[in-house]
Amino acid sequence: MTEAGSGTGTRTDAGTGARTDAGAGSEAAFEIAFKNIYGRAPEGIWAAPGRVNLIGEHTDYNDGYVMPFALPHRTRAAVARRDDGLLRVHSADMDGGVVELRIDDLAPGTTRGWAVYPAAVLWTLRQAGHDIAGADIHYDSNVPVGGGLSSSAALQVVTALALTELHGLDLPRQELALLCQSSENTYVGAPVGVMDQTASACCTEGHALHLDVRGLGQRQVPFDLAAQGLQLLVVDTRVKHAHADGAYGELRAGCEAAAAALGLPALRDVDFDGLDAALAALPDERLRRLTRHVVTENRRVEEVIALLDAGRTREIGPVLTAGHASLRDDFRVSCAELDLVVDTALAAGALGARMTGGGFGGSAIVLVDAGEAERISAEILRALPTARLFPTTAGPGAHRLV
């Protein structure tokens, strides 16, 4: 393997965690950028979004229910095939120039920096028997990095979609998402669930995706806030506490231990009506807390779906807030900054608020009446001036642009 540049670069903006102009320029300008880098035209341009999880947190690795929707923010990839066994990748958002990788040398643990994600996807495709000889890829993105909004999943999914379509591989979207999850688990070494990749690959505009992780059943649930005079704010706290990565593995192991103590395949199998009996059967308070969150969070997903189906969208606010309390008190994955955002928003009149993503930093979501959005946003930023706040809608999943 050879690298032109370290590939370990940093974002080029002034610290917001995303280039606000990236992914927003014309496809023609993006194509020109590719030509300037590689000396030829791309064969196509693709996009894949980040995601926000509306409700259903830390339930995915417990075989439970999740409900993400796609952000309008996206990662774009201009791609052309190669036949010489090289993968060359470049990002407008990273320092270090073009990263050049020899495909035959790819193996888990051999790739450094951000290029590990496209390398992982290509390696996983080849491991699955797909003959991909190489590619030139140029990326840009406006998905906030480090905010728990799945910038890495967007990078993986856009790479997988581009490579499979260029090589005539008609993979179903869920299979594409599973391939990306496998690449992150095996090649990158991150024990992630399948929600982020599925959201990026499978969401549709104007809908939230109800995903049953165990059976991978999907349903697109209408989620048009503007039609009901509502708005959802995303508040990226721009903090990530150092113990986040290790804590994720500990939480997952704790949930598995609780399920094993109950003699069940996963905590998803604890019936809500039998929760008290299950808690009484567990040997310690930590396992009881983890179990209580997972079981009640699955119920909250069901409650939100029922309210959205009934057109009672305003009423999901308290369910979101209850989810935050559970993540804070039972799962203990919130932090001072997330709690400050939620408490400030609610005190200012928000209909509901909660942290979203893995926790220990990252982002919160706030449901507000559209006419109150500006005032409540100002209150949040007054309380946490370093936050990055933006309104959002449910955007489209991954697709080809050109």
Catalogue the active-site residues.
Answer: 196
Rg, the chain, Cα only = 21
- For residues 58 and 294, what is the distance between their CA atoms, to the nearest angstrom? 7
- For residues 150 and 91, what is the distance between their CA atoms, to the nearest angstrom? 17
Give 301: exposed, middle or buried? Use CB within 10 Å, 0-12, 13-18, 19+: buried
- For residues 37 and 5, what is the distance between their CA atoms, to the nearest angstrom? 14
- For residues 400 and 402, what is the distance between their CA atoms, to the nearest angstrom? 6
φ, ψ for residue 337 (rounded to 5)?
Answer: -70, -45
Neighbours of 242 (CB within 10 A): 9
Least Cα distance to 213 among 323, 301, 143 occurs for: 301
Give the DSSP per-residue string, 258-291.
Answer: HHHHTT-SSGGGS-GGGHHHHHHHSSSHHHHHHH
- Confirm if 235 and 89 have CB atoms less than 8 A apart: no
| Residue 391 bridge partners (DSSP) | 233
Q: Could you tell me the CA-to-CA distances from 286 to 253, 291, 292, 293, 351 in Å, in that order? A: 12, 9, 10, 11, 31
Structure tokens at 268: 């998803």
